[in-house]
Amino acid sequence: MPTVELPAGQQIPALGQGTWGLGEDPAYHDEEVAALRTGLDLEMTVVDTAEMYGDGAAEQLVGDAVFDRRDDAFIVTKVLPSHAGRPDTLRACEASLHRLRTDYIDLYLLHWPGPVPLDETVDAFTVLQDQGKIRFWGVSNFDGVDLMELTAVQDGGAVQTDQVLYNLVHRGIEWDLLPACQRDGPLIMAYSPFDHRGTVLRHPAVAAVADRHGVTPAQVAITWVLRQDGVTTIPKASTPEHTRENHGALAVRLDLEDYAVLDRAFPPPDGPRPLEMI
């Protein structure tokens, strides 16, 4: 398993697991738990979730999957901007810890920028670190200006990750945010590598590259994201078979011809773009 390094020096797997949309139907609970546990077996130990996902149902699913394997997992969860004030963040973290069935969170993120002053949120994160309830903190859906504002507040430089939308369809961060983070941090964590609408997996160019290598379009999509230095990605899988398929992307080796085909189908940005998010 290739790894990437957080600014604090912690190594984490480049390929993890997402949970958006999981945990919402009890009929699929056991299979979804098995999918996450299969990922742990395959060293895909970063498990990303959020208090927003299914109103806490995804966190509960993660808790069910890792409660007896806590040391095998690097749990990432997120606090809503509406809970980003100091006392609300402390309460939200306690609720997430309860749903996750753990006494600490590895990486706690602010889900997107909101109306609460960033110094309040950072102060709450610092308190939670001091209490041993979170190990690291970061943000999600922050553009370059947002990150500059964040790092200007006291202790804001301790930010470890910026989790953002990045895939073949949504390449805007390549113009400015990605190179800046590769140079100075924080680490980019790419969500939705397949694109939530399925555009990437259905595209004939992706299918052609996949056929050329005898792999799946999903594996091509993951391999394309992971070509970037200092980037980790968190594709969702709802079955053990899908988890193993995602893991198989690590064995895929695309060449310059493949990347040229994909660039023609999904051109890189030719200028700055507003940060996209879902």
Which positions are annotated as active-site residues? 53
User: What would the two tokens of residue 275 be?
Assistant: 């940060």
d(CA 264, CA 42): 33
d(CA 69, CA 41): 10
Q: What is residue 79's three-state secondary structure?
A: strand
DSSP 1-42: --EEE-TTS-EEESB-BB-TTTTS-GGGHHHHHHHHHHHHHT
| Phi then psi dihedrals of residue 199, to 5 deg | -60, -45
Is residue 248 within 8 A of residue 215, CB to CB? The reply is yes
Helix axes 204-213 and 256-265, enclosed angle (nearest 10): 170
d(CA 196, CA 269): 20
